[in-house]
Amino acid sequence: MTTENQEFTPMTNPATDTAQDMFTTVLHERLASGALEQAITKRVDKLIEETADDLFRSYGEVGKALKEKLSASIMPQIESLEDLPVYHDFVMNRLKLAAQNFYDTRLADVVDAELKEIMTELPEEITMSWLVKQVVKSARSYDEEPEGEITLIIEDMFDWTDTSKKVYISKEESADRRACDLELHLSLDKESGKWKILGIRSDGETEPRLCAGPLYSFEKMLFNVYAMKGLIDLDQGSDADDYETSWSEY
């Protein structure tokens, strides 16, 4: 075999040999030197390497078989971890713990504070004129208008008796009964001539929610009267027109 650094030495005589003679001579010489075996060896080596690569890839036969065997040996160990904690179980347990802590501490503090306020502020009765003035005062601070009027509706619950009444109060003028902020259900106490508060609805909520609700000033006072079975006096009359429901700064 010749290289770039070796001087080429002809094995035939160009003057006497034909091209066929030259080809035959060179072919025999190359075969005799093992060139064919070397070429075949390179091709076979390359074929073996490519075949091995294909077999061991994930889509090859050996790769598939090896993947199945490895999976079979690993999966039973994973399945045996039955006590492995589940994420959502952990979250739910933490939420339950936080809720319980709230009930045990924060909620108890809130209820205790509400009960303390009720027990320390025990008016036996209030008057309707006082209640109307408190709503007017609240409406003035809310609207910031120089003049205005609240809604006050006092009506008998039944035509043939005046022993039960409904009182509707709203900081808005000319409000519909259903839109009023405050609704009282009153029953006449015949002995005193004043009125028991049988039920309260404030901002769409009835009395069970009001115990720990966001009540302030006159609303809290009103609920305390209800909670302690106090009375409300319709001190200026049983008609809404008997009470001053408007204000003016002019």
User: How large is the average pLDDT for residues 163-192?
Assistant: 91
- The answer as to whether 57 is a domain residue is yes
Quick one: angle between helices 107-120 and 217-227, nearest 10? 80
Choose among 242, 235, 147: nearest CA to 195: 235
pLDDT of 213: 45
Percent residues over pLDDT 70 in the chain: 72
**Which residue did the predictor score with more confidence, 245 or 210?**
245
Q: Are 132 and 243 in contact (CB under 8 A)?
A: yes
Q: Flag whether pLDDT at 127 surpasses 80.
A: yes
pLDDT of 150: 94
Q: Which tokens hold the place of 133?
A: 């003035």
pLDDT of 119: 57
Choose among 129, 178, 173, 167: nearest CA to 150: 173
Residue 212's pLDDT band, with cuts at 50, 70 and 90, is very low
Do 129 and 239 sit in the same domain of this protein? yes
* pTM recorded for the entire structure: 0.50
Do 134 and 244 sit in the same domain of this protein? yes
pLDDT of 89: 72
Residue 84's pLDDT band, with cuts at 50, 70 and 90, is low
Q: Flag whether pLDDT at 195 surpasses 70.
A: yes
Do 179 and 229 sit in the same domain of this protein? yes
**Which residue did the predictor score with more confidence, 81 or 42?**
42
What's the rounded Cα separation, in Å, for the pair 227 and 119? 10
Q: Are 207 and 223 in contact (CB under 8 A)?
A: yes
- The answer as to whether 217 is a domain residue is yes
Give the lowest-confidence range in 104-113, 161-170, 212-221: 212-221
pLDDT of 159: 57
- Which domain, by its residues, includes 49? 19-77
Task: Count up the domains in the chain and report the number.
Answer: 3
Choose among 130, 151, 226: nearest CA to 185: 226
Instruction: Give the number of other CB atoms < 10 A from CB of residue 167.
Output: 22
Name the H helices within the chain.
Answer: 19-32, 35-56, 61-79, 87-101, 107-120, 128-143, 207-210, 217-227
Residue 236's pLDDT band, with cuts at 50, 70 and 90, is very high
pLDDT of 241: 95
Do 169 and 216 sit in the same domain of this protein? yes
Do 114 and 132 sit in the same domain of this protein? no
Q: Flag whether pLDDT at 209 surpasses 50.
A: no
User: How large is the average pLDDT for residues 168-180?
Assistant: 91
